[in-house]
Structures are given as structure tokens and as C-alpha cells.
């Protein structure tokens, strides 16, 4: 028998597939009746998981496909439409633990679109309905991924707050909503008096940075982590104890109104301006748009910027601005005709884990990876997702055979969000981290206090990087010769592999023993009668020119674990020769800002390793000597103020700060009009929004590194 997960994953029915099914005893109509009933049961079940339990087991696109199929069948067979069909309702019934509150005007859901063609058809449909060819004035806004609520104000004071519920009745969560500081208990009156009655609609949400902290707190207290900020916001609003809600970092953006008594409006934009004047938070990214093409352009811009926002959005909303036209257009069964949700490609999907394997990285880090049935996430088909480390696999209890929810944020590798436990196979077994390296057979180690398991063998062939085949030695040579290390031009992957396979290079110091004659046989075809030696001579010249690098380039070239370009530049502020660095105490190293305890220990381990000592001696014997630091002119960053928000991929926050201060810059914790740059990483906080508001220049990580590089 199929589980609900497997049933929901079947291909949608069409008239053809139903006809094929009906070739036996069933008639076509009986097959349709059966399928409609099956779809209703599935949709009711998933509505219950989503709205009541705040614990969905399928992704939004999968749910949308089920609902779309049911809508199509009911359109073809209208006699099957019943009042309790999901197409005639907006959501699931309210929770029993709260009293219910009727909405004077229904809080309808929106029709979804997933392509430009569907959006343009929406515009054409409105024009046909109104028999006009004139362009519409629209209002476009981010589609917040939170929990919809209604706030009722009588004579300017908040009297009732409720969730959307089933669209007609919601849960009375007034006391919980009053704990949210961004919701005014009393409307501002300094510009215009409040109306006698005002129903404000908005979206309660949690910022990504706050969501991360909330989950860290829950895990520390032995509680389950929330799957995403939307579920965290919904769960927080449905607490019987308002004190629990008060401890959650909830916020709200208001986007419209229901019934209004004592004030009239003509345009939706006018409504938003009034809400702002009355003290409600309205998203600053909401804009007017003249015509549907302007709305589509807004979608492109928003999709490009979405991963830099401090909160999650899953698309945009397009609304006809004129309230008179909204009234003429009216509503359909479950959505207004005058509004449309234009969704982004889904960043979450569900699939099955086929197996869990481990990969060995360049530094020896051993990372568990989920190998999955291919699924489309964020517009890209993925079949692998990171499980980060042994502790993370245990916390989420991911097993081979499990159905899981995976997500892809930005351009990063997908990760497993949660396991769908109700669909777990009976024979699924907990994952066990291997004791020996799957590549070279060396016993794996996990240093005390670290989450990462490592292969300690420096010659492990698993340390080959993501795009370089051939093992550890070729990968180390490539790094040694790279632009940000010794900068040896002409040493590409193919040439390095030839050198190693011919046994010309056994470690990086052997590069300086190579001759043009040896390289000629590698750079030119054997059957060539006359060998020019042009490329061979070019490589030899580049090797000789690399003998006098700057200190930081030589340090970076050595490939010390946890020490890259940024850390090498920091060390260059304190040391001038390798010998000085090698003799420095661990205490001295860890006190350097941007180095810290773990990097200090790694540096000491490197210089105490006998094999590494031999390589450094051979480099010295070959004439490799770092040149004295040049007297640096005043940095163009001197006196500039920087603020960092969000996580950086290649640098720690301490490293980035040290790079700024080493060049005379300043690092501040808050954004003001005096801030020169805001460096924006992954999942930025409210500082990013503040920078946009003040017009402060923002830099992504790559732009920040380029600015540092240009400044010397």
C-alpha cells in the first residue's frame, strides 16, 4: 500500500491517463470520482500538517500540483464540486485551543503563477474581463514567507488579533500579537485621525539571523529545531502562554486592509501610505508599477536580490492599484481576480535518500553527503546534499531510505532540512561515521572540541579538490603555483600531472630543480622533428622568477591547514621570515586578531612536522627567499568605516576585520550615515536593510576581497 508521501508523488491525472485506467471495469466517470476523492483526502491531510501542526511533509510546489490537478478535474466535471472541497476553501479549520474570530471580509489566498507567460495571461484576462486595452497601474511587493494575520482597530486601538485560519474564521491570538513590538497597540494620530474601524492585514515573520539564533537556543535546551522561519513564526503565534511568544523574535509587515469604517480610499497605494502614517510597518520594497512588463521586471530584480534580504520571500505579489477596479473584478472561489502571486523557483523539495557517503576534502575534512533521487530545487536538478558533519547527521537522524526535505539557498550546495519520519522504512539504520579513511585507509581522527572528522594523512588521494584528479601531490603543486601563492605562470593541471607521472616532481621544492630539457619532452609532441622549447623555457623562467615572493605569498603557498590568503596577509603584519613564524609560540600566535586558537595550533603543527621542515630546507637550498616588505604608502582605506552582516564563505568575521584594521580602516557594529561600506554575506541581518535605506554602498564578499587587494 502506498504511503501518503508516495501517493502524493504520483504523476497528475489527465483525461488520457484516466481513460487508460478506465479500460477495465471502471467507467471514465467513476475513475474521475475516485481520483477527486483521493486528491481531496491528500489535500485535507497536507492542509492539516501545514496549518494545524506547522509540520508540512511535502514542499509547496508539490502541494500546488495536487490542488491544480483537483481544480482542473472539477472544472471539467462541475457536478463533482462540493462545499467542503479544498478548492472552495482557503485553508484548514482553526485550532480548537483558541476561540475563533470571524473575518468581516474573507482573507482569501492568491492564485499562483510560475512563469512570465502566466503573468502576461493574468494581465490579458483582466483586460478581457473589463473590456479595456489600457495598461493597469499595479502595486508590486515581496511575498513574505510568514504567517498571515488580521489586526482589528476600533477608534485607533487594537482590540482583536487573529490568524487567517480558514479564510473566514481565524484563531484569536490577540494577547500573543500584542507581544510583538512592531505591532502598534494604538495607532498614531499626528497626521490624520484613525477610522472608527480598521482591519489591517499583515505577515508575521522572523528574520533569518534571528531564526538561526532561535534554533541554536532550542537545540541547546534539547528541543527540536524549526524547519524554516515560516513554521517558527506560525508556531510562535499559536502558544497558549503569551510569555513564550514574547520570547520569540517576531516582526510584522502590513500589506493591506479588510473592512474600513470612517475613511475611504481610492487606490491600494493610498492605503499603504495611510498605514505608514498610522504607525504600521510597510515593506520599503513595495513599489508602484505601470503595466505588466514593469511588474515582471520587478520580479527579476527581486529574485536577484532575494538572498541578500534579511528575511525569506518566495516570490512577489501583483495587485491592481485602483480599488474601484478591484471591486469590478471581484473574486473567484478562493482568490481575488485582481491579485496574483508570482512565485520564485522552489528552494525546497522532498526526495528520498539513496545512501550516505563521505567525501575527503583538500584539508582532510571528512564530510557526510546524502546521495538522493534527483529532484529540482531552485530551478536546478540536484542529487546530493551536504549533511555537514557527524553531529549534524545524528541531530537530524538522517538515514538511507528516508524521505527528506531539502533546500537550496542562493548558489550554495543543497542541504537536508528535516526527515519525514512518518514515511521512514522499517529497515532504515542510523548512520555510522567510518573509522578509517574511505580513500587511503588511514584511521580518521576528530580533534577535541572540533565538529569535523579528518583524515590526518597528508598524502591521501582524497585531498584532490573538486575539479583536480590525480591525488594529493598534484593538488598541492597547483596550490603552490597559483596566482595568490608563488604565481608560477604556465603550470596548469595537465602539465602538473605530466610532471608527477614522469616522477620529475616528488614535492614542491623539486620544481626548482627542473630543466628546460626535461620539460621539452612534456610540452611538445614526440613526433615533432624540431622542438622549439618555447613553452618549456617560459615555465622555467616563471619558476625562477617566483624565488623571491612576498612573505604572505610564501606562507599561503605552503598550504598550512586553516591558513589561506587572508590569514597569510594577517601574519605578514607580524612576521617577515618563515623562521620567525615557525619559532613563534602558540600563545603569541593565538593572540593575533584573525588567527585564534585553532589556527595557532595548526601553524605550530605544520612547522613541527619533520617532513614539512625538510621541504622548507629544500626550498631554501633552491634559493627561495621571501623579499623584505615594501614600505607601504597610506592605504586608500585609511579612516574608512566598515560594517559586516551575514556569514562570509572564505573568511571569518575576525579575519575580515583584521584585514580592514591592517589598512587603517575602522569596523563598526551599527550602520549610520557615516558608514562607508557594508559587507554583505549569506543570510544578512537588519543591517543590510538599514544600509539600503541610508544609501550606504554595499559589497559582497568577492567585491570586498577585491577592494582589499587593490588597497595593498
Query: Which residues are identified as catalytic?
Result: 143
Rg for the chain, CA atoms, rounded: 31
DSSP state of 387: -
Angle (CA) 606-608-613 rounded to 5° is 80
Q: Per the structure block, which three cell numbers stand in for 567?
A: 590569514
Nearest to 59 by CA among 129, 5, 137: 5
Write the burial class of residue 507 (CB in 10 Å: 0-12 exposed, 13-18 middle, 19+ buried): middle
Is the distance from CB of 92 to CB of 166 less than 8 angstroms? yes
Instruction: Indicate the helix (H) or strand (E) that contains 534.
Output: helix 534-545
Is the distance from CB of 348 to CB of 171 less than 8 angstroms? no
Name the phi and psi angles at 649, rounded to 5.
Answer: -80, -45
Length of the chain: 712
Residues 6+ apart with CB under 8 A from 382: 372, 374, 375, 376, 406, 408, 414
Q: What is the DSSP string of 145-212?
A: -SEEEEEEEETTEEEEEEE-TTSSEEEB-HHHHTT-TTS-SB---SSSPPPSEEEEEEEEEE-HHHHH
CA separation for the pair 217, 8 (Å, rounded): 34
Is the distance from CB of 615 to CB of 508 less than 8 angstroms? yes
Q: What is the DSSP string of 290-352?
A: ESHHHHHHHHHHHHHHGGGSSS-EEEEEEEESBHHHHHHH-B-SSSBTTEEEEEPPPSEEEEE
Q: Give the 3-state secondary structure of residue 378.
A: coil
Residues 6+ apart with CB under 8 A from 578: 551, 554, 555, 616, 626
Nearest to 607 by CA among 547, 655, 650, 563: 563
Order of all β-strands in the sheet with 157-163: 157-163, 147-154, 197-206, 250-261
Is the distance from CB of 187 to CB of 213 less than 8 angstroms? no
Q: Give the 3-state secondary structure of residue 500.
A: helix
CA separation for the pair 341, 115 (Å, rounded): 11
Other Cβ atoms less than 10 A from the Cβ of 91: the count is 22
**Where are the extended beta strands (E) located within 322-449?**
339-343, 348-360, 365-377, 380-386, 403-407, 415-419
Q: Name residue 142's beta-bridge partners.
A: 316
Name the phi and psi angles at 505, rounded to 5.
Answer: -130, 120
The residue behind cell 502614517 is 277
Q: Give the 3-state secondary structure of residue 127.
A: helix
Q: What is the largest CA-CA distance in the chain?
A: 97
Instruction: Indicate the helix (H) or strand (E) that contains 393.
Output: helix 390-396
Q: Give the 3-state secondary structure of residue 367.
A: strand
Amino acid at each position: 500500500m502506498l504511503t501518503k508521501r508516495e501517493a502524493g508523488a504520483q504523476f497528475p491525472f489527465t483525461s488520457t491517463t484516466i481513460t487508460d485506467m478506465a479500460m477495465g471495469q471502471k467507467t471514465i466517470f467513476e475513475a474521475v470520482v475516485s481520483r477527486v476523492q483521493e486528491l481531496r483526502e491528500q489535500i485535507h491531510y497536507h492542509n492539516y500538517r501545514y496549518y494545524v501542526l506547522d509540520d508540512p511533509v511535502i514542499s509547496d510546489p508539490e502541494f500546488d500540483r495536487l490542488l491544480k490537478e483537483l481544480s482542473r478535474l472539477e472544472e471539467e466535471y462541475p457536478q463533482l464540486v462540493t462545499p467542503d472541497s479544498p478548492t472552495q476553501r482557503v485553508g484548514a479549520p482553526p485550532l480548537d485551543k483558541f476561540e475563533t474570530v470571524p473575518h468581516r471580509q474573507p482573507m482569501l489566498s492568491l492564485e499562483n503563477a510560475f512563469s512570465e507567460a502566466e503573468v502576461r495571461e493574468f494581465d490579458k484576462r483582466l483586460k478581457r474581463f473589463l473590456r479595456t486595452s489600457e495598461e493597469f497601474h499595479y502595486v508590486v511587493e515581496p511575498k513574505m514567507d510568514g504567517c498571515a494575520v488580521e489586526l482589528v482597530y476600533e477608534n485607533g486601538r487594537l482590540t482583536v488579533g487573529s490568524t487567517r485560519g480558514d479564510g473566514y474564521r481565524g484563531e484569536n491570538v490577540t494577547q500573543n500579537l500584542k507581544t510583538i513590538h512592531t505591532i502598534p497597540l494604538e495607532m498614531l494620530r499626528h497626521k490624520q485621525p484613525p477610522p472608527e474601524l480598521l482591519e489591517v492585514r499583515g505577515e508575521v515573520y522572523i528574520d533569518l539571523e534571528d531564526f538561526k539564533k532561535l534554533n541554536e537556543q532550542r537545540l541547546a535546551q534539547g528541543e527540536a529545531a524549526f524547519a524554516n522561519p515560516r513554521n517558527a513564526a506560525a508556531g510562535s503565534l499559536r502558544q497558549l502562554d503569551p510569555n513564550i511568544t514574547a520570547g520569540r523574535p517576531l516582526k510584522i509587515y502590513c500589506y493591506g486592509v479588510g473592512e474600513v469604517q470612517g475613511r475611504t480610499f481610492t487606490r491600494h497605494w493610498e492605503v499603504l501610505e495611510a498605514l505608514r502614517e498610522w504607525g504600521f510597518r510597510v515593506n520599503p520594497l513595495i513599489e508602484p508599477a505601470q503595466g505588466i512588463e514593469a511588474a515582471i521586471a520587478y520580479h527579476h530584480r527581486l529574485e536577484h536580490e532575494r538572498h541578500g534580504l534579511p528575511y525569506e520571500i518566495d516570490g512577489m505579489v501583483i495587485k491592481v492599484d485602483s480599488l474601484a477596479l478591484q471591486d469590478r473584478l471581484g473574486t473567484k472561489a478562493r482568490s481575488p481576480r485582481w491579485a496574483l502571486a508570482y512565485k520564485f523557483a522552489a528552494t525546497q523539495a522532498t526526495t528520498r535518500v539513496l545512501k550516505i557517503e563521505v567525501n575527503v576534502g583538500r584539508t582532510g575534512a571528512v564530510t557526510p553527503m546524502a546521495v538522493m533521487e534527483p529532484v529540482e530545487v531552485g530551478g536546478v536538478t540536484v542529487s546530493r546534499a551536504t549533511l555537514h558533519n557527524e553531529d549534524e547527521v545524528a541531530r537530524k537522524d538522517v538515514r538511507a531510505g528516508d524521505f527528506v526535505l531539502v533546500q537550496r539557498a542562493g548558489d550554495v550546495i543543497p542541504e537536508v532540512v528535516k526527515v519525514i519520519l512518518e514515511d521512514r522504512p522499517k529497515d532504515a539504520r542510523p548512520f555510522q561515521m567510518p573509522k578509517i579513511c574511505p580513500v587511503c585507509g588511514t584511521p580518521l581522527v576528530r580533534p577535541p572540541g572540533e565538529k569535523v572528522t579528518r583524515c590526518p594523512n597528508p598524502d591521501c588521494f582524497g585531498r584532490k579538490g573538486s575539479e583536480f584528479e590525480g591525488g594529493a601531490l598534484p593538488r598541492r603543486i597547483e596550490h603552490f603555483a597559483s596566482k595568490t601563492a608563488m604565481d608560477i605562470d604556465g603550470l596548469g593541471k595537465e602539465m602538473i600531472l605530466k610532471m608527477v607521472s614522469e616522477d620529475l616532481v616528488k614535492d614542491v621544492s623539486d620544481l626548482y630543480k627542473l630543466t628546460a630539457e626535461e620539460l621539452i619532452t612534456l610540452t611538445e609532441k614526440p613526433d615533432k622533428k624540431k622542438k622549439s622549447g618555447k613553452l618549456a623555457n617560459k615555465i622555467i623562467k616563471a619558476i625562477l622568477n617566483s624565488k623571491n615572493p612576498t612573505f604572505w605569498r610564501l606562507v599561503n603557498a605552503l598550504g598550512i591547514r586553516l591558513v589561506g590568503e587572508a590569514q597569510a596577509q594577517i601574519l605578514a603584519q607580524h612576521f617577515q621570515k618563515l623562521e620567525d613564524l615557525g619559532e613563534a609560540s602558540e600563545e603569541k600566535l593565538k593572540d593575533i586578531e584573525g588567527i585564534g586558537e585553532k589556527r595557532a595550533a595548526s601553524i605550530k603543527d605544520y612547522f613541527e612536522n619533520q617532513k614539512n621542515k625538510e621541504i622548507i630546507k629544500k626550498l631554501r637550498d633552491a634559493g627561495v627567499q621571501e623579499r623584505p616588505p615594501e614600505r607601504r604608502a597610506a592605504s586608500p582605506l585609511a579612516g574608512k568605516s566598515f560594517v559586516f552582516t551575514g556569514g562570509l564563505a572564505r573568511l571569518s568575521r575576525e579575519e575580515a576585520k583584521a584585514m580592514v584594521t591592517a589598512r587603517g580602516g575602522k569596523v563598526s557594529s551599527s550602520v549610520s550615515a557615516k558608514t562607508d561600506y557594508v559587507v554583505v554575506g549569506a543570510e544578512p541581518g537588519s543591517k543590510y536593510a538599514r544600509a539600503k535605506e541610508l544609501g550606504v554602498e554595499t559589497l559582497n564578499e568577492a567585491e570586498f576581497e577585491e577592494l582589499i587587494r587593490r588597497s595593498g
